[in-house]
Structure 1
Amino acid sequence: MERDTTVTTGYGDLSDDVMVETLSRLPVKSLMRFRCVCKSWYCLVKDPNFIYKHLKRDNSMRLMIYCTYKNPYDTDPFNDLITYFSIFPDKTLTDLHIQDLEPTMKGNTTGPYDGIFLLLGDHTHINLWNVSMDEYRVVPRYKVRLPCDTRAHSSYYGLGVDPVANDFKLVLVLTLWDENRQWTYDEFSPAAVYNFTTNCWRDLGGFPMSRHYRFEGADDVYLNGFCYWVVHRPDYYKEILKFSMTDEVFQVIQGPNIPQLLNYYESAMRPWMLGIYDDYLSILYSEEMAHSFDLWIMKGRSWTKQFTFGPFIETYQPLTFWRKGEFLLQSSDKRLVLYDSTYEEMRDLGITGLWFSVNILKESLISVRE
């Protein structure tokens, strides 16, 4: 019998688009194994466009809670707090897992940004850790020249892909502390970009709006080549800071047409929570002192109110977007709840504590290996 030496280069009856769509639904561990199937699959799994297609999938999302609560069995008032990480391993949020990430995440940690944690030695000494791929990278220290009598006070980050260069980048903005005035230094804020491919920092010449704007919080949102943060002016008027991963420039854009509360307390009580809804940049806005919420989405250059949910008898603090139409909230008595706006249902997740933070941990193919 003559041996068939024909080499199959296609996917049989499956088109390339169907195959890409199918592979994007698989978990990271499976895709890492499938890199060995053929050269085209190996290149696909490393392609930033495919990586972000995979990140957008609902089944890549895990809910991670960092919780601190009082130990009822410890009588020592100086050693009666317990802190732990817990992860819901699937999207049903029914099986709570206690996972010990403390040894790796010991110290100052921020993120995850698209599945990547930033482990901070200090504000300019950053290491990257991809939990799903268990990859770790020691990032070269950002060597910044500070004005006299100043020190790094706080740092803000964004991570995303430059769609033109097809490279992942990490953007960093530092705020400084004036030792003489004992106040935030507002003349200059260092800013830099780190390229994953070149493994080096590039100075951006400073954050141009440092005198006029302050970051509202550390959380950023990446969407289609841009990073976004909520910022406020000295009078607490809020706007959106936008950074282009391709052009590497900052721009301030207007937020939705919602009431601006120009004092610290009321502004802090009604936060703008950034997120992505239906592939649009979105803001969840707390109305009526957190008894109800408005969801605004930005289409083109304009904002549209998508819907309002509430009012509720109890007050809630928004924590993060979950899946479409679902939001995670913290109740006034420190309970973690999930609100489904489609069915107008509130679900208690059975987690309480003195303090907790909630993050979306995504299964990420972004390689941090050098």
Structure 2
Amino acid sequence: MSNYLPEDVIVEILLQLPAKSVLKFRCVCKTWWSMISSRHFVTRYLARSNQHRPSYLLFRHYDHKERFTLHPSDDAFPCSNPAIYPLPLLKGDELQEKRSFFEYPSNFTELHCPNKHKYTFPSYFNIVGSINGLICLANNYTIDGAYYLWNPSINRSVLLPYPNIRQKSHGQYTFSLGFGYHAPTIDYKLVKFVYFDDVIPPVVEICTFHTGVWRFVIGPDPQYIVGNTSVFVNGALHWLARTPDKGKLYKKLAIAALDGLLAIHGGQLEYSGDRGWVVKEYSVWVMKEYGVVESWTKLYTIDIGERFRRVNLSIWIIMQKAWNHGMQQIVQKA
């Protein structure tokens, strides 16, 4: 075909195809391999995929086994502002049997998550973040953790090297993770904040995928990362943070409350807050204009019905666009 069509026409055709097909076409010849693997092609492919991809909700839940399911989100949440969206609750035996609070919609796609290393005790994935359809998973229930980069659209994953700081060599510590992307180099990064007995500032190390090496970097001025929830917006990672002495919010991008988690909604920074240890609902806020505190707007409220002890919302719902039919350079090395 390359004898009859100019290369730019071939590129335009390839840009329209699903990721699985494009990756297969790398094997046509050396020229196609170089062209499809080039930074220019990958950048264009990602840009087009981000413009045309649909929105989905990624659920991580347990039904006798750990499951990841993908649900179309066009009708999942109403667009009115503010709004109340009820999630059907399971009761009694159903709740215990399915190990879930909610009855999930029937229209879904089940994903095949990466195979874990075998351990002598159960281990489960936490979702660190999702960028360009690539999902970063952390197996935090192991002694030293195992971190995976996973592209569900082509069902491939990469196990990252273990970090420099591990419990085996450094003892007990707490930590927070962030998953980011450096657009100029088309490279993905995993950031780890490590705290030893709440010593401030934390030790920070970053793993860059292309090098596969963890390196230490200088941490920020004294601040304490709350929980393990971070999101990537406008080319930067964001955490909820407080200073350890006074318990105040670290005001780089201020919000109205401390407890809650961050997510992304329509490319905007999203915050979901609860109302204490025993909660009835979660309120979701969106920063309409990035960096403008006054632009925080209440989008909707998730009513969980009966009063439960405080639940981390990220355990059962991740409100991010987590599916992408675009090609990811990161899974080509799997």
User: Shift of the alpha carbon at 1:204?
Assistant: 0.9
Q: Mark the CA change 1:202 to 1:291 in structure 2 (over 3 Å): closer, same or farther.
A: closer
More strand by share: 1
Please tell me whether residue 331 in structure 1 is matched to residue 290 in structure 2. Answer: no
Contact 1:220 1:227 in 2 (8 A): yes
Q: Mark the CA change 1:161 to 1:56 in structure 2 (over 3 Å): closer, same or farther.
A: farther
User: Shift of the alpha carbon at 1:161?
Assistant: 2.3
Tell me which structure has the larger Cα radius of gyration: 1
Contact 2:39 2:186 in 1 (8 A): no
1:133-152 aligned at under 5 Å gives the runs: 133-144=154-165, 151-152=171-172
Please tell me whether residue 113 in structure 1 is matched to residue 126 in structure 2. Answer: no
Please tell me whether residue 96 in structure 1 is matched to residue 78 in structure 2. Answer: no
User: Shift of the alpha carbon at 1:171?
Assistant: 1.5
Q: Mark the CA change 1:332 to 1:162 in structure 2 (over 3 Å): closer, same or farther.
A: same
* Aligned position for 1:365: 327
Percentage of pairs with the same residue: 14
Contact 1:297 1:306 in 2 (8 A): yes
User: Shift of the alpha carbon at 1:134?
Assistant: 2.7
Provide the alpha-carbon RMSD of the alignment. 4.2
Q: Which residue of 23, 26, 31 corresponds with 1:32?
A: 23
Please tell me whether residue 67 in structure 1 is matched to residue 61 in structure 2. Answer: yes
TM-score of the aligned structures, taking structure 2 as reference length: 0.63
Q: Which residue of 208, 224, 229 corresponds with 1:214?
A: 224
Q: Mark the CA change 1:362 to 1:333 in structure 2 (over 3 Å): closer, same or farther.
A: farther
TM-score of the aligned structures, taking structure 1 as reference length: 0.58
Contact 2:114 2:156 in 1 (8 A): no
User: Shift of the alpha carbon at 1:228?
Assistant: 1.1
* Aligned position for 2:88: none
Which residue identity is paired with 1:126? Y
Residues 236-283 of structure 1: per-residue CA shift (max 9 Å, x gap): 32236xxxxxxxxxxxx1314x3x5xxxxxx43xx3534243x34344
Please tell me whether residue 185 in structure 1 is matched to residue 185 in structure 2. Answer: no
Which residue identity is paired with 2:6? T
Query: How many residues are treated as equivalent by the alignment?
Result: 275
Contact 1:157 1:218 in 2 (8 A): yes
Residues 62-118 of structure 1: per-residue CA shift (max 9 Å, x gap): 43323357xxxxxxxxxxxx4542513544565135556485496242225332233
Contact 1:126 1:138 in 2 (8 A): yes
* Aligned position for 1:254: 253
Q: Mark the CA change 1:233 to 1:298 in structure 2 (over 3 Å): closer, same or farther.
A: farther
Q: Mark the CA change 1:49 to 1:283 in structure 2 (over 3 Å): closer, same or farther.
A: farther
User: Shift of the alpha carbon at 1:10?
Assistant: 3.1
Q: Mark the CA change 1:236 to 1:49 in structure 2 (over 3 Å): closer, same or farther.
A: farther
Please tell me whether residue 51 in structure 1 is matched to residue 71 in structure 2. Answer: no
The answer for unaligned runs of 5 or more in structure 1 is: 70-81, 177-183, 241-252, 261-266, 311-315, 317-328, 336-354
In structure 2, how many angstroms separate the alpha carbons of the residues matched to 1:48 and 1:9? 17
Contact 1:222 1:228 in 2 (8 A): yes
